[in-house]
Every structure is written in C-alpha cells, then in structure tokens.
Amino acid sequence: MSKVSENVAFAQSAVGAEYPSIPAVRQRELDIAGKVVVITGASRGMGKQAALDFARRGARVVLAARTVETDASLPGTIGETLAAIEAAGGEAIAVATDLAEEADLRALIDAAMARFGGVDILVNNAAATTGDIWGKPFLDLTREEWLYQFAVNVHAPFTLTQLVVPIMEARGGGRIINLSTGSGEVFRQPEELPKLGAVGGFSLAVPGYYSSKRALDRFGNAMAPELHARNIAIIGLHPGLVATELVAIRVKERGLDDSVAVPMTVPARMMVYFAACENPWEYTGRLFWAERELEGLGIPLA
C-alpha cells in the first residue's frame, strides 16, 4: 500500500457516523465548454496550470494576477498564460489585479462580465507567498505583514465570492473552489496530513499564511448551506507541497529536497474535477487533499 493509500485508509477508518464518509466513487464530469472561469494567481504555478487545463476543456478563462511584466526574480506573467491559451486555440482575457485592493477585485469581475457576460466558476488560488513574509518567524512578523496576508488570502476570496454569487445564481448556479493548505481539517477529521513544522529542510513555520488559510477553510464550511440554497457549491482543496516555480527557486537557493513535491498537474486536475463533477453537493463545504483524492477516486491526469 502506498503512503497516500495508507493516509486514505486511516482517514476513512477515523470518520464517525456524524459526518459523511470520504467519497470513494468518481463522479461523471459534465461538459464545461463555454463556462466562464475566473482564476486568481494565474501568472504561474497551480493557477497557470489550472487555467491551461480549463481552457483545454473549452472553458473561457479570466486570468487575474499582479504580474504583468517579466520579473527577474520570478518567472511567469498573466500575458504569458494568455498567450499559451490562445496558442492552443482557447479563449481568455488577462486582468491585472492586486488582490489586496477592493477596486481591483471589482474591476476583475466587471471585466469578466464585459467580455464573457457572466461567471460560472471562481477559483480562489492566489496567496501571499512571496517576499520576506513567507520565512519570518512569529515574533518578527509585523502587524502590517499579518494583515496583508489576511487581505490576500481571506478578504479577497470573501469579496470575490460576494461579487460572483448573484451572477452565478442568475445563471442557474456555479462553483467556487478555494485553494487551501495543510493547516487543519474542516470537520476536525484526518482529511489531510497534520500540520508540520517542516518537510525535510523546507520550513513551514509561516504563521500568517497558515492562519489566514485556515480562516478561508472555515469560511467555505460556514458559507456552504447559504450558497447551496442558491445552487452554488463551495469546495476547499489542499494541494500539498507542489513543485511550482516558486518552490523550485526555494529548493535551489536553500539546497532542499523537493522529492516530496507533487506535480502542478495534480491539484490542477482536481480543480477541474470539482468544477465539472455532476454532484458537487457531496463535496460542498468540505476540504480535500488533492493527491489523496486523485488516487482514491482513480482520476487520470490527462
């Protein structure tokens, strides 16, 4: 039995009758061609990979990120993601967006409405993970830095959700997918690996990031009943340690071991699955671990 299978078995054995069991049957995926998908953090990493995967399925993609021009310290721009989608025959727009700015969030949804006439799927993927904030221990973290992480990781998804819910409801429903982290379990079940201080030499001691993402988890859990009444599902996805460009840079700089990192295609595939699955009510309000679900449900990457 693989390590992932062991974790799945342990999680299933520990779930009591009070809560629904972890899904074991893969659902049929609906056609999402023509659906409008807004993805934040789409200039690189999982956001870019998911944008490409949605576009391959015929979805029309709205790309949001701050990175418009090439940065020597980080690869990728929303323009490059747009070019890749268009080169493959897909349809998308790129909207420069600072998630900490409410005006930018409103402009993002306005742009989606102006170009495509609506929003069907929102993927809250972006997070504050760059710069000195990431590696600062608790006592060195300033209040401003703490608040900035909550602005990007929690308040932006809150505002975007408020903006798209009336639009989705008017279109018959929708899906909201929140990218989370290994910060806790929605129902205090072992739905994911326990919070670790480090993976090898890769430090995970980032209190602002984990605390804000935990708040995002609970937001999705709390909103699920209200959104269900509007035919909108809200699903949390823990991607695990993913081999993004940013992780590759940190591995190179610090000489860390990246053998435990999963390919970006793993969480991206699960984003598409949750956006396309026939019965999202089995998943709404819950938090799932991408690698486990991919294996447990037998979902192919292609």
pLDDT bracket for residue 214 (50, 70, 90):
confident
Tell me whether residue 10 is in a domain: no
| Percentage of the chain modeled with pLDDT above 70 | 74
Tell me whether residue 159 is in a domain: yes
Residue 276 neighbours by CB under 8 Å, 6+ apart: 29, 30, 31, 32, 57
Determine the structural domain holding residue 152 and report its residue range. Answer: 30-296
Tell me whether residue 155 is in a domain: yes
Tell me whether residue 9 is in a domain: no
pLDDT of 172 higher than 80? yes
Mean pLDDT over residues 164-190, rounded?
80
Tell me whether residue 215 is in a domain: yes
Q: Structural domain tally of the chain?
A: 1
**51-72 confidence digits (pLDDT tens):** 999 999 999 999 999 877 666 5
Look at residue 75 in the predicted model and tell me its pLDDT. Answer: 74
d(CA 228, CA 254): 45
Mean pLDDT of all residues belonging to the chain: 83
Tell me whether residue 23 is in a domain: no
Tell me whether residue 18 is in a domain: no
**70-98 confidence digits (pLDDT tens):** 665 667 799 999 999 999 999 999 999 99
**146-162 confidence digits (pLDDT tens):** 999 999 999 999 999 99
d(CA 7, CA 87): 40
CATH number of residue 202's parent domain: 3.40.50.720
Of the two residues 72 and 213, the one the predictor is more confident about is 213
Tell me whether residue 292 is in a domain: yes
Look at residue 9 in the predicted model and tell me its pLDDT. Answer: 37
Asked if 94 and 111 touch (Cβ cutoff 8 Å), the reply is no
Look at residue 183 in the predicted model and tell me its pLDDT. Answer: 52
> Which pTM does this prediction carry?
0.84
